[in-house]
Each structure stands twice: as structure tokens, then as C-alpha cells.
Amino acid sequence: MWNTAIEAIQQNNTEWLRENRLTFQQFFVQQNSKPQGQLSKEALAHHYNQKLFKLFLPEDYQGLALDLHQGAKWIENASFLDGNWGWLLGIGVGGAYFADYCEEEIAQHYFSPKNALVAGSGKPCGQANPNGSNFEINGSWNYCSGSEQASFFTAVTLVNEKPKAFIIPTSVANIKRDWNAIGLPLTCSHSIEIEKALIPKNHFFDLSKPLRKSDYPISTYSFLGFAMACFAPVVTGITKSLFHDAENFLTTKKETWQTYQPERFQLISQKIENVQTEIEKRSTAFYQVVEKSWKNHLHQKNVLEKELMNSGQSLADYCYAEVCKIIPLLGMDAIEKSATIQKQFKDLQTAYQHMIFRNYSNN
């Protein structure tokens, strides 16, 4: 099923996506070898062959070097099929941003292999102490999605009391397997920890310093804009999937509600249609901003970061708000643990919890 599913997300085959969504979700569970997620060898082979974790890597590292809006749409389509898959892709492609900040030899070593896949954390944790030509690292970093299949990790630690990013070989990292969120259960978003690990100084990189030039300049694009382009599509895809579930749910209630609660049926039916139309409108506008921003970046013009962030935030906020409105209208059957719509709701709550969607300013 992998070949047809991958082709469907690449070609935006909405008909196939809608018809095979529930079957794919069952298939995806079977394609994981651990309860909290670890893609099977078969699944990973398809991902490597299609370079699904290299959507935004330059060709210098054997990447696809896709236009940002194109890759973002692939992530949305994967999220529509299964939120776990979309999240793994959205997270997995993010490490591409750091490639050109690393020393060239180190970047080639870690990013070029066919199975290259980064997991990690951007929160400054742990401590680094000089030890000859190395640093001795001690620390723990949580929420490293995709940890079970990562070929290496990236993290941020304190060097001379200042945060600095670095590469962690999997050989020195211990996966704690503590992922316990209500949704996205198969993303193996575990903590990693290292104790007295010697990390060479050339494995450290500084995002504040100039980097190597590239024909595919993802590493000089807005970091926040890049993150929004990867994560807003996950929320969008899951929400579209949930409203597809709501449509199916409404069909099972149609005869009863039209007979005994016609106003209820009409209200919910119209609500679902209106929201689906609005999400398509907002997501289309979002991808147009992403496309314009990326093209501007390629021509060294304003990347419209504020416009992109506002568009992605508005889209994600709308998705979450409308889901919270529709579920109470559906009644008790919709909150059964076994209800399909609840899987999407828990996945949505988990994805929407990402810090990219939080703004604590008063402005």
C-alpha cells in the first residue's frame, strides 16, 4: 500500500485519499513494530527510496529540494491519511534546515546517506564541558519525534552558559521511551539522554553565524516560517480528516435525525459543509503565501514572515476552534473511545499543542 499512498500524497489524489483513509490508518498501525511507534523495515525502505525525509534537503545531500509549498502540501495529504504519518514527515524534514550550518564534511557524513533522518529538540538542556578536542555532554531532551528510526539526533546544550546546537550520534544516545500524549501515539516522540558522551567540537554549529551558500537556500529561509510551513499542514490535514469522519457519522444518523430532529440534522449538515468550504479557502490562501514567500526568498526579496505566520496561525486556530464546536453537536456516540472521530480529535489536540501555534504577547 505504501507505493499507492505515497503517489497519492505526491499527486494530491484527493479521491484516493478519501476512499482509503481508514484502511490506511489500520495499515499504518500494522507497519509499526513498537506500541509507541517504530516504522518497519519495509515502511522505511519506501520512505528512503522516495526521499520522504529529504523533501527540503539540497541535492548536494541527495535531497529532493522541493519548493516549500509543494512539500507542505505533501505533509498535509499524509496527515489526512493519518496524523501520525503527517507528523513524522513534518518533523523528519525539519532537520534539513541545519545542514548548511554544519561543517561541510560533517554535513555530508550525516545528511547525505539514504537513510538520513534527524530527530531532536531545540530546547537548551544539559551541559557541555571541554575535554580535549571534544565536549563531554550530559543531559536529557524530550519530545524527539521519530527517535526510534533516527539516524542521528540534534539538540541544544549550554557551552560557556550560551546555547549551542550539536549533532548526537545515535551510538551515544539512550531513548527513554516515555512518549505518553493523548494523540499521535505512533510518532515515538520520546526523550533522549546522554551521559558523559564525548562529542567532537566539529559536531557543534551556530545558527547565528554565516553559513555556506547553496543553490537551494533552505537554511537561510526564515526558521519560524519554515516551521509553520511544516506544522500548519499537519493540523489542516488532521482537521479535514476529522470533518470527513463527521460526514460519515452524520450519514449514520440521517434517518433518525431527519425523522425526529430535522433541525439538528440540517444545522449539523450545513455546519460541516460551511467549515469544509472555509478550511479549503484558508488553506489555499496559506499555500499561496508560502509559495510567494519562497519565491521571494529565491530572488532575495522579503519572505513575508509576518504574513506567513499570521496565515498559518489563523488556519490552525480556525481548524481547532471548529472541531471543538462540531463534536458536542454530534452527541454521546461521538465521544465513545472507539469512535473514529476521537482518534482525529486526540491527534489534533496533540499537534496543535506545538509551540509554533502559541503567542503569549499582548499585542
CATH number of the domain within which 303 lies = 1.20.140.10
Which CATH number does the domain housing residue 92 bear?
1.10.540
One-letter amino acid at 212 equals R
Report yes or no on 106 lying in a domain. no
Average pLDDT score over residue span 78-97: 97
Report yes or no on 213 lying in a domain. no
267 and 321: one domain? yes
191 and 300: one domain? no
180 and 243: one domain? no
Q: Domain ends where: 205, 240, 266?
A: 205
Residue 213 pLDDT greater than 90, yes or no: no
Rounded percentage of the chain residues whose pLDDT exceeds 70 = 99
- Residue 173, helix vs strand vs coil: coil
Q: Domain ends where: 180, 205, 230?
A: 205
89 and 135: one domain? no
pTM above 0.95, yes or no: yes
Report yes or no on 6 lying in a domain. yes
Q: Residue 209's pLDDT is what?
A: 78
Q: Which residues pair with 118 in a beta bridge?
A: 152
Q: 114-157 pLDDT, tens per residue?
A: 999 999 999 999 989 999 999 999 999 999 999 999 999 999 99
Q: 216-269 pLDDT, tens per residue?
A: 999 999 999 999 999 999 999 999 999 999 999 999 999 999 999 999 999 999
Which grid coordinates are listed for 13?
Answer: 489524489
323 and 236: one domain? yes
Q: Residue 210's pLDDT is what?
A: 65
For 81, how many CA atoms within 13 A lie in the half-sphere containing its CB?
Answer: 33
177 and 92: one domain? no
71 and 176: one domain? no
229 and 352: one domain? yes
Q: How many separate domains does the chain show?
A: 3
Distance between CA 175 and CA 142 in Å, rounded? 10
- Measured from the Cβ of residue 196, the count of other Cβ atoms closer than 10 Å reads 10
Report yes or no on 214 lying in a domain. no
Q: 315-362 pLDDT, tens per residue?
A: 999 999 999 999 999 999 999 999 999 999 999 999 999 999 998 875
- E strands, the chain, are 118-131, 134-144, 152-159, 162-169, 174-175, 190-200, 204-205
Distance between CA 215 and CA 99 in Å, rounded? 13
290 and 349: one domain? yes
236 and 353: one domain? yes
85 and 155: one domain? no
Report yes or no on 107 lying in a domain. no
Report yes or no on 102 lying in a domain. no
Q: Residue 362's pLDDT is what?
A: 56
Report yes or no on 211 lying in a domain. no
- Measured from the Cβ of residue 45, the count of other Cβ atoms closer than 10 Å reads 14
Report yes or no on 229 lying in a domain. yes
Q: Which domain holds residue 68?
A: 2-97
Q: Residue 12's pLDDT is what?
A: 97
Which CATH number does the domain housing residue 169 bear?
2.40.110.10
234 and 316: one domain? yes
Distance between CA 191 and CA 61 in Å, rounded? 27
Q: Domain ends where: 178, 205, 232?
A: 205
Residue 161 pLDDT greater than 90, yes or no: no
| b/e burial code for range 254-292 (CB count within 10 A of at least 16 → b) | eeebeeeeeebbeebbebbeebbeebeebbeebbebbbb
